[in-house]
Structure 1
Amino acid sequence: MKFNIQILTLICFASFFSCSSDDEAPPKIIVVEEEVIEDTAIINLTSEESNEIDFGDVVTNITSTRVFTIHNSGNSDLKIANIIIPDNYTIDLLTSIIPSNQSKEFTVTFTPTDILDYTDLIKIESNATSGTASIIIKGIGVNSIYDGSVTLITQDEVEDFAKSGYTEITGALFIGNINNFSPINSLASLNKITEVGSLQVISTTELEDLTGLENLNVTVSIQLLSNSALKNVDALLSVTKLSSYLSLLSNTALTQINGLSNISEIGDNLRVNNHPNLINLDGLANIITVKNKLYIENNSLIENLNGLSSLQSVSSVSIRYNAELYSYCGIKSLLTNKGIGEDYFRPRFNRYNPSSYTIEDFDCEKMIPDGIIHSDTGYGISEQKDIDYLISNDFHGIDGGLIISSENITSLESLSFLKTVSGSIRINDTALTNLNGLENLTNVAQIYILNNLTLSDYCGLSPLIVNGSLGENLYPSSEPFYTVDNLYNPTLADIQNGLCSE
């Protein structure tokens, strides 16, 4: 409403100094007009998507919610008389009063009943004098089965996908990204998903467990890779069989894998590698078949393979770098029944490294003392890194044999820490010129040196041969020292008599 107020001011001035009435001035009249400000209510609608409300895909008969905001930037109350909303959408309030320069949030829900596009407008009936009184609202009703693969990298993406209500994914569910660390910390909202082809959880930094996946059956493959906070996989108890691989790699906080205890068959490789805090393999106790290769590598706390006691068949087995592993009794039945298809079994760099023959007929477990590395088939040195491994782990003795064989080997001086070899030492086909570095050996069963075309100096063995123990407990017919096809081929007596080099 607009109106004018006229203020009339009469100013009269009479001059008492005038001599004549003709000198009197007429009164002056000044009119001042004041304008009253117009009442306004200016409406504007916004949402999380700024200019529209977008529900995305929502499974039919599943309810999803969004929030939008009505702003009043006018100077008087905005009175909302009604909100017109399309079918399949509902809203928590239909009327409201929004004071000047204030806002109010409204919650709208979407429940599609058919597989179609529900794009329309929300319209506001009010006393607004200007502004925008409508907003686009979008949502698509979809089938409960997602056709394809899904990648979720952020927590917001996890929550948004969960709101869609999908119960199955025909392809893979990727959580995280191999190229970047992911801050995802919870999968709880994914609890409606009951089946996926493949589950990949990769490079998360805050995800401590897989809570939310308790109802999930994975049919093809599982990979858990480089999840630095992941402590357990308890939520995977619904998984029973994989047509492809199961791969657990470099989950540094993982302490147990009991959530895998209902899996009975793996159609490709099984890998459990690089877990410094994993205590045991008990979660694998029901696995009967691994159709390709089994890898148990670099799990520094595992002491036994009891979790593999049900395993009946596997293509080949690699068990390496498990520093505390001393018991193989869990796979004795597998070996006895010839369950390894390629008959390839060679444990290395574990506390105890028995051959399949030893496990089957003699000792399936043996506690090796600290500082001693064990190998039934002989510890092999073919390059410097093999020596570096012994040094880095403070080994000073070998329970078993030592095989030094490669033309890459030109010096043994870095073996000066080595004191005992309970089996034989074999040195062949190297580029050595001398055996310096073996001076600290005190106890060796046998020594074979052959086909080292540049080797002429054996003086590094003199302390062992003259003052140490060489050849104890050998059969009478066995030779403790043997050389052939080297540049110089001394006998044991030659070295005892000081003829250690040529």
Structure 2
Amino acid sequence: MRLITTLLCALCIVSCSTDDTIQESNIFEGDLTLNTQAEVDFIGSMGYTEITGYLSIQSSGSPITSLEALNTLTKVDGVFLSINGTQITNLNGLENLTTVANKLQITNNYELTSVEALSNVTSVGGLFVKENLLLESYNGLENAQIQENGYLGLTGNILIDDASMLSDIIPASLASVNIAEGFASCPSCPSISVPQPLDDLSFLSNLTSVGSLNITFFQGESLHGLHNITIADYVGIGFDSNLISLDGLSGLQTVNNNFLIHSLSLITDLSGLENITTLNQLQISNNDALTNFCVVEDLIVNGVVENLYIQDNAYNPTEQDFLNGNCSN
């Protein structure tokens, strides 16, 4: 009898010890919007591991300065996880987060310097990092694999000149890619357009197809990194003051809708577009040095381009000019 009692006690001790080390699922059903630090802390105290809807964290009233209370959260299933307009300096508290089923949005957090706490995130539907004016790098996002046909937006993170750590999370196909300028502002002054110093697109070399591709206020001389893209619905390249060539688009064969080339002050010709065979609408404007359009001559003469707009370049050939063989000046 004493032996049986001893064994039962031992089993109880092992059972209790094991339970203490296992994080049981604690699921919040529905959407969550957290507007104050008190709300963040309260939800954190509930120990939720998963949220079936979206999670929006946005200061409204008292500032949100810490996410440490959310340290049990592992998954957000809804349309987005948005961290916007807070006064946090880091994302500590989200170290256990592994999955964001749809969009991960980190925007307008003007005191945020690091996203390294997100290093355990392995899957996101889309990634938007926008106008975090003190953010020093994208370190922490290198494991956040973007799902096929997801989204990527990197805009206005004005201290970051390197996105190479994101190269492994880019799939072959994305619905949209937006690399653009940001807007620095303060409560009593107007917004000012501020280019981000990103000057290398090599991290996008996995891409072979994209819905919408927008590269504006890019600081690099080359579009290398886009060379594997063969098909797009929309392409916009503009205000890229250092860009000297479109050669990085040499793999592009199909643009189903609009191709916009504007305000590129250094390009003199359209080299890089030789392999395009399908193009619905072509808009080329405000390119101060552009005088040679011969690369797209066949597309225009053969009627492939249905809508053509050329204006305010160094040379502005009409459709008749192309028909007459006057594709350059």
**TM-score bracket, shorter-length normalisation:** 0.5 to 0.7
Match of 1:203 among 82, 85, 98: 85
User: Given the alignment, which residue of 357, 373, 377 partners 2:265?
Assistant: 373
Q: TM-score, normalised to structure 1's length?
A: 0.43
Tell me which of 327, 330, 339 is aligned to 2:225.
330
- 1:89-139 Cα offsets, whole Å, 9 max, x none, are xxxxxxxxxxxxxxxxxxxxxxxxxxxxxxxxxxxxxxxxxxxxxxxxxxx
Tell me by how many angstroms 1:187 deviates. Answer: 0.9
The reply to whether residue 314 of structure 1 matches residue 210 of structure 2 is: yes
**Measured at CA, do residues 304 and 479 of structure 1 come closer, stay the same or move farther in structure 2, by a change above 3 Å?**
closer
Alignment partner of 1:144 is 2:29: no
Please identify which structure carries the higher strand content: 1
Q: Determine if the alignment matches structure 1 residue 191 to structure 2 residue 71.
A: yes
- 1:275 deviates by 2.1
Q: Tell me, yes or no, if structure 1 residue 255 matches structure 2 residue 255.
A: no
1:294 is displaced (CA, Å) by: 0.9
CA contact (8 A) 2:151 2:174 kept: yes
Q: Equivalent of 1:347, from 211, 227, 237?
A: 237
8 Å Cα contact 1:428/1:449 also seen in 2: yes
Is residue 2:104 matched to residue 1:222?
A: yes
Q: Which amino acid aligns with 2:102?
A: V
State the one-letter code of the partner of 1:354. Answer: S
In our comparison, the structure showing a higher alpha carbon Rg is: 1
Task: Provide the C-alpha distance between the structure 1 equivalents of 2:113 and 2:173, rounded to a whole number of angstroms.
Answer: 25
**CA separation of 1:277 and 1:207: change in aligned 2, threshold 3 A:** same
Q: Any idea what SS the aligned residue of 2:316 has? A: strand
Q: Which runs of 5+ in 1 are unaligned?
A: 1-60, 62-141, 362-371, 387-397, 410-420, 430-447, 451-476, 482-502
CA offset digits 1:354-396 (Å, max 9, x no partner): 33576569xxxxxxxxxx8223449614xxxx9xxxxxxxxxx
Per-residue deviation at 1:209? 1.2
User: Which consecutive unaligned segments of at least 5 residues does structure 2 have?
Assistant: 1-15, 17-23, 182-194, 253-263, 271-282, 294-308
Give 2:153's aligned residue. 271
5 Å-filtered alignment, 1:443-462, equals: none
**Which amino acid is 1:191 matched to?**
N
Distance 2:208 2:251 in 1: 15
Aligned residues: 247
In percent, how many aligned pairs have the same letter? 28
| Equivalence for 1:288 | 171
- Partner secondary structure for residue 425 of structure 1: coil
Residues 219, 241 of structure 1: 8 Å contact kept: yes
Letter in 1 for 2:224: C
1:249–1:239 distance in 2 versus 1, CA, 3 Å = same
Moved over 6 A (4+): 477-481
User: What is the TM-score of this pair, normalised by structure 2?
Assistant: 0.64
CA contact (8 A) 1:148 1:170 kept: yes
Q: How many angstroms does 1:427 deviate by?
A: 7.1
- Conserved in 2, the CA contact under 8 Å of 1:270 and 1:290? no
Write the mapping of 1:32-431 to structure 2, written as runs, cut at 5 A. Answer: 144-177=26-59, 180=60, 183-197=63-77, 198-204=80-86, 206-217=87-98, 218-243=100-125, 245-266=126-147, 267-286=149-168, 287-298=170-181, 299-322=195-218, 324-332=219-227, 334-335=228-229, 338=230, 340-342=231-233, 344-350=234-240, 351-352=242-243, 354-355=245-246, 359=250, 373-375=265-267, 376-377=269-270, 380-381=285-286, 398-401=288-291, 424-426=314-316
SS at match of 2:101: strand
